[in-house]
Amino acid sequence: MNKIRFYLFAAFVLASSCTGGKTVSSQAGDTECSLIANIQSRNLTSLDGEWNYIVDVYETGYRDYRRNPQPVENTFFRDKGYYSSKEELIEYDFDAAPTLSVPGDWNTQKKELYYYEGGVWYRKKFHAEPLPGKRYFIYFGAACYESTAGLNGEILGSHTGGYTPFNYEVTGKLKEDNSLVVLVDNTRRFENVPTVNFDWWNYGGITRSVYLVETPETFIRDYSIGLKKDDSSRIAGWVRLDGPEAIQKVNVAIPGLNVDICVTTDAAGYASFEIPASPDLWCPETPTLYAVSLSSETDKVEDRIGFRTIETKGTEILLNGRPVMLRGISIHEEKPFNAGGRAFSREDALVTLGWAKEMNCNFVRLAHYPHSEETVRAAEEMGLMVWSEIPVYWTIDWNNPATYANARKQLIENITRDKNRANIIIWSVANETPVEAAGRYEFLSGLIGTAREMDGTRLVSAAMEKEEKEGGIMTVNDPDLSRLTDLISFNEYVGWYDGDSDKCTRVKWVFDIQKPVFISEFGGGALAGLHGSARERFTEEYMEDLYRKNIEMLSAIPGFAGCSPWILKDFRSPRRMLTGIQDDYNRKGLISEYGQKKNAFFVMQDWYKALSQQ
């Protein structure tokens, strides 16, 4: 934490930046994350809406003029304009400050913050009527990238990572009238995950919803329910209580399967169970979800859960024991139309995922970080399998223990939130990382081990890269990592970054490992509406020809099990500076930022339709 801007609050920050220092168990053992599972099933008060904000370029809100850290009572967390008289000298005033919408990024809400990277203070006043015998938490869907939260002048904690949820307990800290102050900083840092160099927009802000959560004193903090690994005739699961009454009876009911059992938790609040059952299996054609309830003596949680198996056999991916071809597309979490910015709503997800369904996809790669819970759940309901990824992207500080701990924490938070979603079939731990980097293999193998320890029912992979050998032979560039993953998965840009589109007809793919081959990225760019010859870059004709030739090339790959071309929609990136063509957009989208479908969209649509009929 000493390299992170919020180190000055270390004395006030709780031991676990994830959730306030508690631990819960996964099926395989303890993790460092105690997120409240299935937040939408709780008694919630939304804190979304307009928040006052102050841009803090010089860190004035927590340092004095000698750049020394100030006591908390002298920082903006104290919200003195709210607590103090007008006789005191105060040089900030949240009440008089402008507002930003939460959830939302600041870059697209205020034109003067379009390129801004740094600290922004958010303040939300809210009313509460805390009840005796209840516990209360503040839950953040995400804040990008580092954040420290304070309630009524008291520091709650800090969180690092821009795409995963976190919560702080505020029992005993709530008043009738409250001031919640959050310092958010999206400064890129070498030791962060991702690091300083990445190919998407560095959206800053409180980018997902914020809730005040009410629970009983002892509540169901977490649970897992799914088909038992290696025995699809049984449902296996566990439940974890949090609170003083740890030993309780817990009822698990799935009315659609005539399941109603009772288990008793131990002194740690934990109980596991197995249930014989024959559910209709979740699949893209029939994405069946069952109503599930878990009822303890003091709490009740409801969910909708699907049951399926996913595994590999030789060069095939098996969904529910049958071979499946992953007809995919990669997606960044941006709003579907030109309003732009970080997407967060179910409505945004339905539009974006609807385009994937229109293209005859059965699979989406949610790149390069965990997308919102609303997106994952919408995809589950729509029958879209999911590749879920953490932002270990390009060059990471591989030998820094704090960087590894950060990446591992993001993976744990991601799995903790989404482990009960049937549509997630792949946990991905990285994208396009350099094979030659010292410490990289140990870093990634550790993350793979964590994913398998927490969840042995899904595939684990990473987006690697290709390697060209003599004679036009192509293969994956990392056989060592490929032996650890369940798929040979890699990105290839033959015809865009590697030669022209004709090169696709001259190469041959060879693999020494017998596993399913998944092409996690391929493609090229075009400006929607720009037309010319099939030899002219950035025209729709070049992109269309490139896609056609890539399809022919990929179809001939031994063990080919699917792909997720890059990418569904044009997205913002400051790395894309070609005036008149890119203008801060990566143009590899099959759809423009205005919703225009490029020629290559229809090429993929036709191919996927043909594959779906085989």
pLDDT at position 89 is: 80
pLDDT at position 475 is: 95
Partners of 592 in beta bridges: none
pLDDT at position 14 is: 31
What is the separation of C-alpha 498 from the centre of its chain, rounded to a whole number of angstroms? 30
φ/ψ of residue 5, rounded to 5: -55, -30
How far is 185 from 600, CA to CA, in rounded Å? 38
> Is the confidence at residue 2, as pLDDT, over 80?
no
Q: What is the mean pLDDT of residues 214-225?
A: 98
> Is the confidence at residue 51, as pLDDT, over 70?
yes
Q: Which of 103-107, 338-342, 458-462 has the lowest mean pLDDT?
A: 338-342
How far is 163 from 391, CA to CA, in rounded Å? 9
Neighbours of 70 (CB within 10 A): 15
Q: What is the DSSP string of 467-513?
A: EEEGGGEEEES-HHHHHHSSSEEEE--BTTTBS-GGGGGT-EE--SS
pLDDT at position 82 is: 57
pLDDT at position 33 is: 67
Q: Which of 55-64, 73-82, 234-243 has the lowest mean pLDDT?
A: 73-82
> Is the confidence at residue 26, as pLDDT, over 50?
no
Q: What is the mean pLDDT of residues 547-575?
A: 97
> Is the confidence at residue 13, as pLDDT, over 70?
no
Amino acid at 278: S
Q: Which residue has the tokens 């949240």?
A: 94
Mind spelling out the 3-state secondary structure of 108-154? CCCHHHCCCCCEEEEEEEEECCCCCCEEEEEEECCCECEEEEEECCE
For 16, 216, 595, the CA distances from 44, given in Å and listed in that order, are: 24, 13, 34
Judge whether 407 and 443 are in contact, CB under 8 Å.
yes
Domains of the chain: 5-216 (2.60.120.260), 219-297 (2.60.40), 312-608 (3.20.20.80)
pLDDT above 90 coverage of the chain, percent: 89
> Is the confidence at residue 30, as pLDDT, over 70?
no
Using one digit for the tens of pLDDT, what is the confidence trace for 68-82?
998 988 899 988 765
The chain-wide mean pLDDT, for the chain, equals 93
pLDDT band for position 5 (50/70/90)?
Answer: very low
For 287, 292, 327, 438, the CA distances from 284, given in Å and listed in that order, are: 6, 21, 11, 41
pLDDT at position 44 is: 97
Q: Which of 289, 316, 319, 458 is nearest to 389 (CA)?
A: 458
Partners of 182 in beta bridges: 122, 149
> Is the confidence at residue 556, as pLDDT, over 90?
yes
Using one digit for the tens of pLDDT, what is the confidence trace for 245-280?
999 999 999 999 999 999 999 999 999 999 999 999
How far is 278 from 318, CA to CA, in rounded Å? 18
How far is 81 from 98, CA to CA, in rounded Å? 15
Q: Which of 301, 186, 298, 194 is nearest to 247 (CA)?
A: 298
Using one digit for the tens of pLDDT, what is the confidence trace for 399-458?
999 999 999 999 999 999 999 999 999 999 999 999 999 999 999 999 999 999 999 999
Judge whether 104 and 344 are in contact, CB under 8 Å.
yes
pLDDT at position 565 is: 98
Q: Two tokens at 516? A: 């399913």
Q: Which residue has the tokens 């008289």?
A: 85
pLDDT band for position 88 (50/70/90)?
Answer: confident
Q: Which of 496, 542, 538, 540 is nearest to 521 (CA)?
A: 496
pLDDT band for position 84 (50/70/90)?
Answer: low
Amino acid at 379: A
Q: Which of 50, 58, 47, 253 is nearest to 137 (CA)?
A: 47
> Is the confidence at residue 15, as pLDDT, over 50?
no
pLDDT band for position 32 (50/70/90)?
Answer: low
